Amino acid sequence: MADRGCFRKVKNMTRFSLIILVSLLTHALTKAQEPFTLKGTIDTTENSIYYFYYKVGDSAVTDTVRLKKGGAFEISGSIEEPTLVYVSIEDKYNPRVVGDFVIYQAWIEPGEEHVFRGFRKWQKGVHNCEISNSKNDVLAREWLALYNKANEDKENHDQLRFISDHLDSYFVLTVLYGKLRRNEDLSLVRDLLSRMPAHLQSTFRYKQCQDMLVVKENLSIGSTFPNFEQADTSSNMQRLSDIRKNKFILVDFWASWCGPCRAESPYLVKAYSQYHEKGFDIIGVSLDKDRDEWIQAIHDDKQVWHHVSDLKGFDNEVAKSLYIRSIPSNFLLDPTGKIIARDIRGEELMRLLGEILN
């Protein structure tokens, strides 16, 4: 689930959201940028069009490149801190992929001249390339090997040792950021962040991690879910607190283009049909951009409950304020608005509602 956030139509969001906004804006104004150069070759046909995408703070940059003789290219820019560059082509291969098709990714760093080579058979994965002068890319490949080994062995001791041994690296900071996004080991992440050196604690990513910790702690089980307001399919404003009255309610973040979200629809339909009369309701918050596709998906999946969206995709202001970066994602609230479960899937939702409402 990308990093984005501000509120216009979101009402009554808690004060921590405003603190986060001020923190990130202040940092964006004060952090200096340094130039970088990325040049090299991609082993494909000449004149092919490639897109190079990277982020500067919370802003995205895309360079469009037509390969020269021998597959050569060169781009340059300025970045505040190390960042991933994604190399993509127009997607003609997978109809389920939204946007361009990423074939390579590598780490670039401020003040560096990088030499890149993208190899043929990019179907092997996004790491089928090499880049010079990138300490973070070296660490990323070491981490990938440990990650694959942990998946095989069902152990993560080597990963934890790697994190502890490289707490002075920007790459490990992004690993901790990823754990926060997935709601993993919040207390451990908090401790590790506190042990990072000063040069990392001054970065945009570190401040983002600290802000996300505040949000995650305010969205823990037993916390009160922040109220919000967005437009429904008829462009009427709907407020969560009005819908929630005297009900258990599932706040479901989804989108018409999200395959896993659509796969959950039959379970939600079943839960709504069986428990709506007993005091259960759903409000779907869509991360769509296309109004027609959003409404068509609602009808196709027979989702007869409440639906809202500001049609900004992952820039949806409710999702941004809560650091919702991947979907499906949901929160089950009791009639007082307290969170009693989150990210519940399939039959687990039916089981939990059965315990509560039967």
pLDDT in tens, 271-297: 999 999 999 999 999 999 999 999 999
What is the pTM for the complete model shown? 0.71
Q: Is residue 19 part of a domain?
A: no
- In order, the DSSP letters of 43-88 are SS-TT-EEEEEEEETTEEEEEEEE--GGGEEEEEEEESS-EEEEEE
Q: Domain for residue 26, yes or no? A: no
CATH of the domain at 50: 2.60.40
Contact, 209 vs 189, CB < 8 A?
yes
Within this chain, do residues 53 and 109 fall inside the same structural domain, yes or no? Answer: yes
Q: Which of 115, 132, 149 is the last residue of a domain?
A: 132
Of the three residues 218, 251, 270, the one that is the final residue of a domain is 218
9 assigned to some structural domain: no
What average pLDDT does the segment 136-143 reach? 96
pLDDT at site 255: 97
The answer on 249 and 290 residing in a single domain is yes
Which residues, 6 or more positions from 87, have their beta carbon under 8 angstroms from its beta carbon?
A: 42, 50, 51, 52, 53, 102, 103, 104, 105, 106, 118, 129
Mean pLDDT value of segment 20-30 = 50
Q: Does one domain contain both 165 and 110?
A: no
pLDDT tens digits, one per residue of 44-70: 777 789 999 999 988 899 999 999 999
CB-based contacts of 314, cutoff 8 Å, min separation 6: 1, 2, 4, 287, 320, 325
- Residue 122: predicted pLDDT: 72
The CA dihedral of 99, 105, 106, 110, to the nearest 10 degrees, is 0
Tokens linked to 102: 């990423």
> Is there a single domain that holds both residue 151 and residue 89?
no
pLDDT for residue 216:
85
Q: Quick one: pLDDT band at residue 124, thresholds 50, 70, 90? A: confident
Residue 161: helix, strand or coil by DSSP? helix
Q: Are 192 and 250 in the same domain?
A: no
195, 144, 209: which is closest to 167 by C-alpha?
195
Would you state the structure tokens that stand for residue 250, as one six-digit string? 């599932």
In a domain, 111, yes or no: yes
Does residue 15 carry a pLDDT above 80?
no
Mean pLDDT of the chain: 88
Q: Is the pLDDT of residue 95 over 80?
A: no
Q: Of 104, 132, 160, which marks where a domain is finished?
A: 132
- On whether residue 259 sits in a domain, the answer given is yes
Cα–Cα distance, 250 to 157 (Å, whole number)? 36
Tell me how long the chain is.
358
Quick check: is 22 in a domain? Answer: no
196, 287: one domain: no
Both structure tokens of 304: 């007869």
Residue from 67, 37, 44 nearest 128 by CA: 44
Angle between helices 170-181 and 135-153 (to 10 degrees): 40
Question: Per-residue pLDDT for 133 more than 70?
Answer: yes
Q: How many domains does the chain have?
A: 3
Share of the chain above pLDDT 70, in %: 87
Q: Which residue has the higher pLDDT, 84 or 151?
A: 84
Domain identity same for 307 and 331: yes
Structural domain boundaries enclosing 55: 34-132
pLDDT digits (tens, 9 = 90+) for 217-239: 888 899 999 999 999 999 999 99
- Give 104's strand partners: 87
Residues 87 and 159 in one domain: no
Query: Do residues 159 and 142 make contact, with C-beta atoms less than 8 angstroms apart?
Result: no
**Band of the pLDDT at 185, cuts 50, 70, 90?**
confident
Coil, strand or helix at 324:
coil
117 with 162, same domain: the answer is no
23 pLDDT more than 70? no
Task: Give the pLDDT confidence score for residue 147 in this predicted structure.
Answer: 81
Q: What is the mean pLDDT of residues 8-36?
A: 54
Mean pLDDT confidence for 314-326:
90
- Look at strands 339-342 and 329-333 and give their pairing: antiparallel
- Going by pLDDT thresholds of 50, 70 and 90, the confidence category of residue 150 is low
pLDDT at 120: 87
Question: Which pLDDT score, from 0 to 100, does residue 123 have?
Answer: 73
> Do 330 and 243 lie in a common domain?
yes
- Give the residue with greater pLDDT, 153 vs 299: 299
Which stretches within 232-324 are classed as H helix? 240-244, 259-275, 291-300, 317-321
Rounded to whole angstroms, the maximal C-alpha distance in the chain is 70
Clarify whether residues 150 and 266 are in a common domain. no
Residue 24 has pLDDT above 60, yes or no: no
Q: Alpha-carbon distance 132 to 188, whole Å? A: 33
- Cβ contacts of 338 within 8 Å, gap of 6 or more: 222, 223, 224, 225
Average pLDDT (104-111) is 97
Burial class (CB in 10 A: 0-12, 13-18, 19+), 271: buried
- What confidence score (pLDDT) does residue 64 get? 96
Contact 324, 4 (CB under 8 A): no
* Residue 246 shares a structural domain with residue 311: yes
Are 283 and 305 spatial neighbours (Cβ–Cβ below 8 Å)?
yes
Residue 105 belongs to some domain of the structure: yes
274, part of any domain: yes
Q: Between these two residues, 258 and 121, which has the higher pLDDT value? A: 258
What digits encode the pLDDT tens for the residues 155-181?
Answer: 578 888 999 999 999 999 999 999 998
